[in-house]
A and B are shown apart, each in its own frame.
Chain A
Amino acid sequence: TQLLEQSPQFLSIQEGENLTVYCNSSSVFSSLQWYRQEPGEGPVLLVTVVTGGEVKKLKRLTFQFGDARKDSSLHITAAQPGDTGLYLCAGCPPYNNNDMRFGAGTRLTVKP
């Protein structure tokens, strides 16, 4: 079992639709990160959320950290084909603040 569970695993939508992907854990995290990875490339950091209940916006992307700091969500408004990619959440478990753990990711496809 993974420390961070992401859902859904796959998501295929039409351009212009809204979507939300989730990252859940039974553990408390001091912070969670969201990365996006495109085929054949390494992940690229999108955002770090630190405070419980925190909401961060990056253009059409909205990231939220759960009040209990055990979960996070990523909402995309009016998705575009350029949003296509693998979205990964990551964080360090409470027992080792250098041991970064990643979720398995949500693979998003936005069709024109």
Chain B
Amino acid sequence: NAGVTQTPKFRVLKTGQSMTLLCAQDMNHEYMYWYRQDPGMGLRLIHYSVGEGTTAKGEVPDGYNVSRLKKQNFLLGLESAAPSQTSVYFCASGEQVETQYFGPGTRLLVL
């Protein structure tokens, strides 16, 4: 099992560009999450999904959109990237909210 994988590993964007981060899990988990991690801030929840076809806002959802068309995939979109979105993005999945398995992260730099 690959667990939780994230694509891409690293990306540089210019302000205003758009991109999609892909998260895939092969553990048949219902719950999936997108976080961002910034120095001194810990991880902050952007959006989450409790099952295929469902999404909900987390603590810091503004500027991001998500989709969960297939159970194994959770996509995070940035429609118009801003320098404030420079961060490390982590995806996680789990059978319940208390037990989350994290991917290796995507480093995003917005210039």
A interface residue numbers (CB < 8 A to B): 2, 4, 6, 9, 31, 33, 40-45, 48, 88, 90, 92, 97-105
Contact = CB atoms under 8 A, between A and B. Distances in A.
Interface size bucket, B side?
20 to 34
B42 A42 contact: no
B50 interface: yes
8 contacts: A9-B40, A42-B103, A42-B104, A45-B100, A98-B31, A98-B50, A102-B43, A104-B40
B102 interface: yes
Chain B interface main SS type: strand
Interface in B57-111: 58-59, 90, 92, 97-105
Contacts of B56: 98
B22 interface: no
A98 B48 contact: yes
A42 B50 contact: no
Given A88-B42, A105-B42, A41 B105 contact: yes
